[in-house]
């Protein structure tokens, strides 16, 4: 890491937990490579402490910060402005600060769509199934719709978040040309119908990581079919149960590592106005 001076601008990642994140290495290496007097740190901040943390960062003149779970939605009322994408998504993962004005952005969807295009998946005019309706799922759904996906099948459990999922589907249908619908993950026949038409299945739930490491959001692996690409936004572990089962079914698979890279690259551009040195970061952390 470059020397920290009295002029060094501070930013970082807010969420809980954050100790596992590789974002500090990505951004600090990029700052050093470009000779920028900036540093990126991790702050374990739960929603109850988020207002104080955000105001503290504003007060010290931060260049900005990232947010991860569980803070992506809790930060909304603490900001001064939202980008169009963040407003549609209803969640923020990147905040820029200029003259004390905090603007919320969402780079998750941009990062995800760039990662699948780089992997050779073109969703324009095609159908996809997306499992989950949290902050990352909403970002992916909105960006996929904006980028020309013909039909998006959102799949969730009938739980407290079902109403939120219905609202997301309505928003996509109202503001984009994509045709969105909602399917109960527990309804095997309905899931089979939407998966048979989908070229991409994406897991944006927490199933497969942490205490849910041995779980899969898709309870019936027989619904997977050859020719489909199966994507998981989880990158730790790099191969979740869903991805293992998808490989066994003859599907192409990809984890969330490159979504992390490209959403980070977009955040870096927002903060600095410069391109992240992606070849360097890819070689060090994603090869």
- Predicted TM-score of the model (pTM): 0.86
Residue matched to tokens 């952005």? 105
pLDDT greater than 90 at residue 8:
yes
Helix (H, G, I), strand (E, B) or coil at 38: strand
Distance (Å, whole) CA 3 – CA 198: 50
Q: Residue 1: pLDDT above 70?
A: no
Write b or e for each residue in 97-126: b if 16 or more Cβ atoms lie within 10 A of its Cβ, otherwise e. Answer: beeeebbbbbbbbbbbbbbbeeeebebeee
**Average pLDDT value over all residues in the chain:** 95
| Cβ atoms within 10 Å, residue 78 | 17
Q: In whole angstroms, give the CA distance from residue 110 to residue 114.
A: 6
Domains of the chain: 9-106+259-285 (3.40.50.10860), 109-255 (3.40.50.720)
pLDDT reported for residue 200: 98
* Residues sharing a CB contact under 8 Å with residue 46, sequence separation 6 or more, in sequence order: 16, 70, 71
CA distances from 83 to 17, 100, 120, 274 (A): 26, 17, 28, 19
Residues designated catalytic: 72
When computed from its CA atoms, the radius of gyration of the chain, rounded to whole angstroms, is: 19
Distance CA 209, CA 88 (A): 27
DSSP state of 47: G
Mean pLDDT of 213-238: 94
**Banded pLDDT at 16 (limits 50, 70, 90):** very high
Average pLDDT over residues 149-166: 94
36 vs 96, 113, 162, 282, CA distance in Å? Answer: 16, 28, 44, 19
What band does 236 get if pLDDT is binned at 50, 70 and 90?
confident
Residue 53's pLDDT band (cuts 50, 70, 90): very high
pLDDT of 186 above 80? yes
Dihedral sign for Cα atoms in the order 203, 233, 231, 86? positive
């Amino acid at each position: 890491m470059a020397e920290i001076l009295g002029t060094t601008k501070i930013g970082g990642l807010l969420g809980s937990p954050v100790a596992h994140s590789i974002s500090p290495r990505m951004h600090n290496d990029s700052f050093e490579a470009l000779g920028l007097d900036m540093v990126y740190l991790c702050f374990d901040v739960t929603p109850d402490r988020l207002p104080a943390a955000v105001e503290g960062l504003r007060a010290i003149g931060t260049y900005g910060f990232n947010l991860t779970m569980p803070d992506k939605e809790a930060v909304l009322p603490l900001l001064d402005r939202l980008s169009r994408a963040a407003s549609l998504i209803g969640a923020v993962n990147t905040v820029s600060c200029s003259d004390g004005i905090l603007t919320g952005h969402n780079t998750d969807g941009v990062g995800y769509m760039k990662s699948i295009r780089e992997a050779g998946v073109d969703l324009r005019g095609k159908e996809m199934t997306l499992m989950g309706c949290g902050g990352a799922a909403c970002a992916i759904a909105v960006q996929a719709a904006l980028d020309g996906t013909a039909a998006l099948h959102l799949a969730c459990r009938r739980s407290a978040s079902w109403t939120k999922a219905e609202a997301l589907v309505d928003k996509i249908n109202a503001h984009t040309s994509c045709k969105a619908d909602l399917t109960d993950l527990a309804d095997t026949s309905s899931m089979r119908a939407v998966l048979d038409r989908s070229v991409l299945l994406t897991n944006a739930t927490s199933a497969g990581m942490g205490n849910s490491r041995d779980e899969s959001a898709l309870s019936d692996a027989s619904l997977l079919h050859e020719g489909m690409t199966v994507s998981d936004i989880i990158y730790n572990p790099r191969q979740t149960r869903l991805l293992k089962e998808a490989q066994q079914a003859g599907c192409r698979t990809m984890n969330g590592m490159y979504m992390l890279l490209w959403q980070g690259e977009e955040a870096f551009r927002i903060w600095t106005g410069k391109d992240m040195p992606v070849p360097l970061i890819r070689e060090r952390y994603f090869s």
